Chain A
């Protein structure tokens, strides 16, 4: 048996699964978007004319962008602390960052409902402490979606930045300070620029995942914060509007692809998605 054939035999099972259960259905969706309920681009013109669709897309990009920024801010501090200060507790801190990966997103989202609800733990505690007299609305609005999204996405921001930072030798900062730069200046001019690849990777990962995220926005938005993936589900499950739902899916796919294409100019995509942690 020659080398090439052996190679194909090895990847064949995985390839078959991918084609059968992923590529084929995706192509079908493309098909549905131009055939249901009638052949033509009717779904797409409806989509572009619909105010609700535009609102949902804007909301989706806004939530994804804010989530990304918050994850990067929180994640940068966390990654910096872990890679530069936590010597003895580093394994513990790394474990805590990875821990959420072992708990289902569904459970984590329900946990946030328990915490943020009208008579949830947070509101109860604040009222008992006398800080507020009526419960704050943490849920069924963008605030709740953002809180839970940041929590779910944080590890995806931390890990690429952590990998990046752990590759930066401490001698750069020492060299800068030895040459006369203050600690803050050395961080700003010498350390931070070296962490930008990690920041871009983490940001891109969080943004792309957030664009198509479903469970957390659906649960914490309670139908009031309708991000695009929930909108698609709504169209298909509630209205049996397969044509428009499929067209929206294609639009989301295209939008994500455009984000990736633009990002590819600044970020090494291979590193971001294939060589993570």
Chain B
């Protein structure tokens, strides 16, 4: 099967507020297959969000190319959307109007887009809240709405930037399970950014671990834990510990590098 996304040797450099050059990404290559859920995992500042923004077309790489369904990404495209961490709902629109937003922009008729929006609200368990406004919802409900809105846009590729990062543990675990259920029904291809090992091991088909300065792929792991995944299982905890060791090594190395450059 052909890849949904092909990231080929992508680099991105920017200058931080102190005027220092930062290699956010340096020669990243990554393919995502249809229906696959890939997690980008790494320490803060490793460029995982930058990579997501490049794929979304919000930013342009300095080097390399990104292909989506074999076409190069040159800007925002109608077949990709992104779920942000929080506060991305339009507060002047009801839940239903938020979820219907993407179809409204596409010019779908009101009746049609509301039918589709209701379908995705049912999928995310929000049917009874369609007339509510975002400020009336809990953080978990808001992120469910954001997810429903992204799904209702019917993208080929769904990007998620730490979408559950601001939620408490219990809610986060519930939303993770719901996301997996939804994916099973929709076969949605997902590229998911997280800094939580637990989240990555629970969700991903494949985990891509990034290191920082320069942003490189440290390791790619196909998650062998059978689904449905049990956080208490031996497979799960072993992989968790293994990844933890890798991350600790990355952080240690980058700290050494930082002290060396400072001297």
- Does B bind A? no
